[in-house]
Amino acid sequence: MKQLTIAALCALSLNFAFAAGEHDHGDHGAAKQYAFGSPGQDSAVSRTVKVSAGDDMKFSYTPPLKTIKQGETIRFVITNTGKLAHEFSVGDAASQRAHALMMKKMPDMKHADDPSAVSLAPGETRQLVWRFDKAMSGDVIFACQVPGHYDAGMKTNVPLATK
């Protein structure tokens, strides 16, 4: 009985941790590996792309983002121009599916420790630097995984060009 009570308390404390809206990638100090690239360094940035995230459920890019070259590092400067919370995440199809499922379970989740995503309050501007150093099958996908936003069209598929 005592073990059951302890197990129940542990499960309850996990629910409270997840309800707080932060998520842990399970790295615990180790560098997380991504199938679609890696966190970029400011010193390696080859171009900067400004991104607007609006309540029309679209991202707009300046200059236009038509292709990404494998190996390049891009600084994304993202501004939430709307009145709703938005996010900007970089990934491949599998990571975006996983991210969507996590966001459905924890819709108020923030991305404080995730170098591949930023959460944006209305009017907020944040940066994300990403190095596209891995070969991928399929496109790079930029998405807002706030529940309902991706399904409403807030995503962009961009081809990754090999060298």
Considering just the CA atoms, what is the radius of gyration of the chain in Å?
A: 17
Compute the distance between CA of residue 30 and CA of residue 106 in angstroms, rounded to an integer: 24
Amino acid residing at 30: A
Indicate whether 154 pLDDT > 80: yes
Pick from 63, 46, 59, 131: which is nearest to 88 by CA? 59
Domain ranges of the chain: 35-161
Compute the distance between CA of residue 97 and CA of residue 35 in angstroms, rounded to an integer: 14
pLDDT digits (tens, 9 = 90+) for 5-32: 333 333 333 333 333 333 334 443 456 7
Q: What is the pLDDT of residue 112?
A: 67
pLDDT digits (tens, 9 = 90+) for 79-93: 999 999 999 999 999
Q: What is the pLDDT of residue 17?
A: 34
Compute the distance between CA of residue 12 and CA of residue 31 in angstroms, rounded to an integer: 29
Indicate whether 148 pLDDT > 60: yes
Chain centroid to Cα 62, Å, comes to 19
Instruction: Identify the sign of the CA torsion 84, 68, 48, 133.
Output: positive
CATH architecture of 35-161: Sandwich (2.60)
pLDDT digits (tens, 9 = 90+) for 65-120: 999 999 999 999 999 999 999 999 999 999 988 877 777 777 676 666 789 999 99
pTM of the model: 0.78
